[in-house]
């Protein structure tokens, strides 16, 4: 690639970054490729439809919750979570 082409690519990627875009490479089956392109197009628009799609995707593709999030969401009312003060048995050395 010539220097002017490299500069053009750098400028293009810089403009994308300023707009909050990120370049991705995906591997998909041939039949899913067009679907994924259309999905990316909808998500880029930033309108109400893209927010609806984004919300539904998050519901479908749940990320595993962290241990902290699981504890925060756990119903702990009425559960005793303190430990007893049992110091074990007495051992003579």
How far apart are alpha carbons 75 and 7 in whole angstroms? 56
pLDDT of residue 31: 93
Q: For the chain, what are the domain ranges?
A: 25-61
Say if residues 65 and 74 touch (Cβ distance below 8 Å). no
HEC readout, the chain? CCHHHHHHHHHHHHHHHHCCCCCCCCCCCHHHHHHHHHHHHHHHHCCHHHHHHHHHHHHHCCCCCCHHHHHHHCCCCCCCCCCCCCCCCCCCC
What are 21-55's pLDDT values in tens digits? 888 899 999 999 999 999 999 998 889 999 999 99
Q: What percent of the chain has pLDDT over 70?
A: 98
């Amino acid at each position: 690639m010539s220097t002017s082409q490299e500069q053009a690519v750098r400028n293009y990627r810089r403009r994308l970054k300023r707009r909050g875009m990120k370049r991705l490479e995906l591997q998909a089956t041939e039949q899913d490729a067009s679907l994924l392109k259309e999905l990316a197009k909808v998500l880029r628009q930033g309108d109400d439809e893209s927010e609806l799609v984004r919300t539904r995707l998050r519901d479908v593709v749940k990320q595993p919750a962290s241990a902290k999030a699981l504890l925060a969401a756990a119903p702990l009312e009425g559960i005793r979570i303190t430990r007893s003060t049992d110091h074990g048995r007495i051992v003579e050395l």
